[in-house]
Amino acid sequence: MRTAFLVLTLASVLIAYDPVFVLDLKALVPYDMDKRQLNILNKDQSLIRSDKKKKLDVILERQDENIKNKYKEVVEAKQLKYSNTMKARFAAARDLIGE
């Protein structure tokens, strides 16, 4: 029972983790206009995640292919790191309850 709860909790956390990596794109873009738009987007706490993602995607579409690829690499690396961290926490929790 405890293991099932831990598995469901881990799955929920992994699925729910999907931030918009605005500052990572801002660090890569060379254009001041895009940097300003990303700065505004990052500070806007009233936007829901999906709307923020749509605006980020519009800015990303204007970028060169190498910037798009680098941004994709950065996002994938952060997601992988988070996934590995959650797996380690899950294993530690499982060991803690003795299963």
Q: List, for residues 8-19, the tens digit of each pLDDT value.
A: 776 666 566 668
Express each pLDDT in 29-51 by its tens digit: 999 999 999 999 999 999 999 99
The neighbour count for residue 25, using CB atoms within 10 Å, is 25
Helix (H, G, I), strand (E, B) or coil at 42: helix
pLDDT at 97 over 90: no
The whole-angstrom distance between residue 2's C-alpha and the CA centroid of its chain comes to 28
Express each pLDDT in 70-93 by its tens digit: 999 999 999 999 889 988 888 887
pTM comes to 0.75
State how far the alpha carbon of 53 is from the alpha carbons of 10, 58, 90, in Å.
24, 9, 29
Residue 94: per-residue pLDDT: 79
Helix (H, G, I), strand (E, B) or coil at 29: coil
Q: Which residue has the higher pLDDT, 17 or 20?
A: 20
Residue 27: per-residue pLDDT: 96
